[in-house]
Amino acid sequence: MSQNYDVIVVGAGPGGYIAAIRAAQLGYKTAVVEREHMAGICSNWGCIPTKALLRSAEIMDFAENAKDFGLSIEGQIKADLDAIVKRSRGIAERMNGGVSFLMKKNKVDIIWGEATLTKPGEISVAETKKKIVEPQGPKPKNALGAGAYKAKHIIVATGARPRALPGIEPDGKLIWTYFEALKPAKLPKSLLVMGSGAIGIEFASFYRSLGVDVTVVEVMKQVMPVEDAEISKFAQKRLEKRGIKIMLESKVAKVEKGSDSITAHVEKKDGKVEKITADRMISAVGVQGNIENIGLENLGIKTDRGCIVIDEYCRTNVEGIYAIGDVAGPPMLAHKAEHEAVICVEKIAGQPNVHPLDKSKVPGCTYCHPQVASVGLTEAKAKEAGRDIRVGRFSYAANGKAVALGDDQGMVKTIFDKKTGELLGAHMVGAEVTELIEGFVVAMNLETTEEELMHTIFPHPTLSEMMKESVLDAYGRALNA
Ligand SMILES: Cc1cc2nc3c(=O)[nH]c(=O)nc-3n(C[C@H](O)[C@H](O)[C@H](O)COP(=O)(O)OP(=O)(O)OC[C@H]3O[C@@H](n4cnc5c(N)ncnc54)[C@H](O)[C@@H]3O)c2cc1C
């Protein structure tokens, strides 16, 4: 016998569980189907456990420089890898449990298993076949099991998985994905990271802090290729200063596997091939949507380049079926997934003033050391778009708080439309920029011009003062530079 709901969400990641909560808040009888871990990749194998590892790395870096702060730490500071990983896994588990609690609190039913869309308004749930590197996360208490379920609205939020390059497929032993990189049994002495997007650079930063000899190979002209070129160059220099080797415009063409190491054939821009041997390699060449085996073809749901095609309110081409989060395309970020979840459900409910997602205002953060954060157009993209621009810059070295923190290497860059004063983009590298960027995101959402930002008071002493100074600099009025 099938069970009936108003809304069923497939996948309990940040997209799925937020959609379920919002649907329940709006009075819908709601269920969420999850096959292996409540809270999805984000809390179990993505955003949160990586930040836990990076926090250990940050404290290690501080401790190593304790002398600069007038402190002495007796003996050598040692990283206990098992304890670091245990802490990270414990935090992931806590987040996972938190989402189960939220489902209960909001009276959302959890259906445990693997869902397939069978026909409009109906799914079938089977026991999970797929297993990732870990056993399944704990099955929430009172979860419903396999069977047929009906709902007027079905939201697909099945997320993404690591992308693999042909011939260089991760094997989980010598070539890792983020799963193995998050849970190493032992610290490699040397590591090659293929790809310098946020995931690759965060792992490079973490392992370097623990003393690993790290080489990053990137096919594009700059590290973190989506970031502003100037910010990327600044970050690259800092990363290199920390001892990370970076090879740009270079491609891992082939990998030979030894018994306990790999040798990568790295093709450089000039056509020469350099062989690099490392204990382990992390493949960080992006992710691809989980669109297979979920019955999209049963219903004729359109996909494009590995993602479900949606309109501005997350509707697919089939009535009553929606898609949100990573499976619905880039930017593949947790906050984008959550935002789409709310847009999708509120549109279903016929709420007034539902705004489509504005991808130009989705911030991006990389939590390496130094951190990088941005929103809006880069300088190059603004020029490409034919905008006449003003650019402001402010250096961390001229900010009292940064100097007091002992972290005075960084930059805040702002880009304005010369004619209208519209803030087009903000780009930052340095301490705490992942927390600071939201100030500019709010400003852009309010369609701020330089004038409002200049009239805004920033507390002293804070790193945020550099945001205002960067704006002032764009207009030749910086005060502390
Ligand atoms: C190492 C790493 C670090 C990251 N760091 C950040 C960061 O700092 N900030 C950020 O914004 N983003 C980060 N991300 C990206 C972020 O994790 C994703 O954007 C986010 O998890 C997407 O959410 P989602 O709900 O679309 O999918 P997911 O979180 O992938 O959740 C999808 C869920 O669907 C379930 N599922 C799939 N198929 C089925 C099925 N047929 N039946 C039932 N259940 C199913 C899966 O088990 C999974 O739990 C990171 C990713 C990685 C890998």
Are 262 and 305 members of one domain?
Answer: no
The total of structural domains in the chain comes to 3
Q: 54-80: buried (b, 16+ CB within 10 Å) or exposed (e) per residue?
A: bbbbbebeeeeeeeeeeeeeeeeeeee
Q: Take atom 1 of ligand 1 and give the residue whose Cα is closest.
A: 46
Look up 460 and say whether it is catalytic.
yes
Supply angle C-alpha 375, 380, 386, rounded to 5.
100
- Measured by CA distance, the residue closest to atom 37 of ligand 1 is 158
Q: How far is the CA of 465 from the centre of ligand 1 (A)?
A: 35
Please report whether residue 468 resides in a domain: yes
Which of these three, 285, 320, 342, is where a domain ends? 285
**Angle 143-47-94 from CA coordinates, rounded to 5°:** 45
Question: Same domain for 126 and 32?
Answer: yes
The reply to whether 51 sits in an annotated binding site is yes
Quote the distance between the C-alpha of residue 386 and its chain's center.
Answer: 29
Tell whether 332 is in a known binding site: yes
Pair (14, 147) in one structural domain: yes
CA of residue 323 to ligand 1 center, whole Å: 13
Q: Are residues 128 and 253 in the same domain?
A: no
Same domain for 347 and 252: no
Determine the pLDDT at residue 135.
67
Are the beta carbons of 328 and 340 closer than 8 angstroms? yes
Report if residue 328 sits inside a domain: yes
Do 41 and 148 fall within a single domain? yes
Q: Which of 285, 318, 345 is the last residue of a domain?
A: 285
Is residue 269 in some structural domain?
yes
Tell me: is residue 286 an annotated ligand-binding position.
yes
Considering the domain architecture, whether residues 428 and 310 belong to the same structural domain is answered as: no
What pLDDT, on the 0 to 100 scale, is given for residue 75?
A: 83
Is 218 flagged in the annotation as binding? Answer: yes
- Testing ligand 1's pocket by substitution, the residue of 10, 22, 42 carrying the most ligand atoms inside 8 A of its CB is 42
CATH number, residue 432 = 3.30.390.30
Residue 58 belongs to a domain: no
CATH number at residue 222: 3.50.50.60
Taking the C-alpha atoms of residue 36 and residue 294, their distance in angstroms, rounded to an integer, is 15
Q: Name the domain boundary from 334, 359, 384.
A: 359
Residue 55 covered by a domain? no
Is residue 214 one of the residues assigned to a domain?
Answer: yes
Check whether residue 155 and residue 292 sit in a common domain.
yes
- Of 153, 265, 427, 460, the active-site residue reads 460
Q: Give yes or no: residues 344 and 277 share one domain.
A: no
479 is in an annotated binding site: no
Pocket residues for ligand 1 (CB within 6 Å)? 10-16, 33-37, 40-42, 45-47, 50, 114-115, 157-160, 178, 199, 290, 294, 325-327, 332-335, 337
What pLDDT is attached to residue 149? 98
pTM here is 0.97
Pocket probe mutation, ligand 1, options 41, 224, 435, max atoms within 8 Å of Cβ: 41
Q: Report which ligand 1 atom has the smallest distance to the Cα of 115.
A: 42
Q: Residue 303: which region, alpha, beta or left (left: phi > 0; alpha: psi -120 to 50)?
A: beta
Whole-angstrom distance, CA of residue 282 vs CA of residue 25: 41
Note the pLDDT of residue 137. Answer: 78
Residues of the chain with pLDDT under 50: 1
**Residue 57 located in a structural domain:** no
Q: How far, in Å, is the centroid of ligand 1 from the Cα of 330?
A: 12
In sign, the C-alpha dihedral spanning 233, 235, 241, 244 is negative
313 and 396 both lie in a single domain: no
| Closest listed residue to residue 456, CA positions, set 468, 444, 438, 473 | 468
Dihedral sign, Cα of residue 360, residue 414, residue 335, residue 170: positive
The owner of tokens 């937020």 is: 18
The span from the CA of 432 to the CA of 88, in Å, is: 20
Same domain, residue pair 281 and 258: yes
Query: What is the 289 CA–ligand 1 centroid distance (Å)?
Result: 10
pLDDT at 136 (0 to 100): 72
Residue whose CB lies within 8 A of the most ligand 1 atoms, among 158, 314, 434, for a mutation test: 158
Nearest Cα residue to atom 21 of ligand 1: 42
Q: Examine residue 53 and state whether it is found in any structural domain, yes or no.
A: no
Ligand 1 centre from 160 Cα, in Å?
6
Whose C-alpha lies nearest to ligand 1, atom 19?
333
- Is residue 314 a contact partner of residue 321, using CB atoms and an 8 Å limit? no
Q: Is 27 annotated as a binding residue?
A: no
Residue 270's domain comprises: 175-285
Do 258 and 216 reside in the same domain of the chain?
A: yes
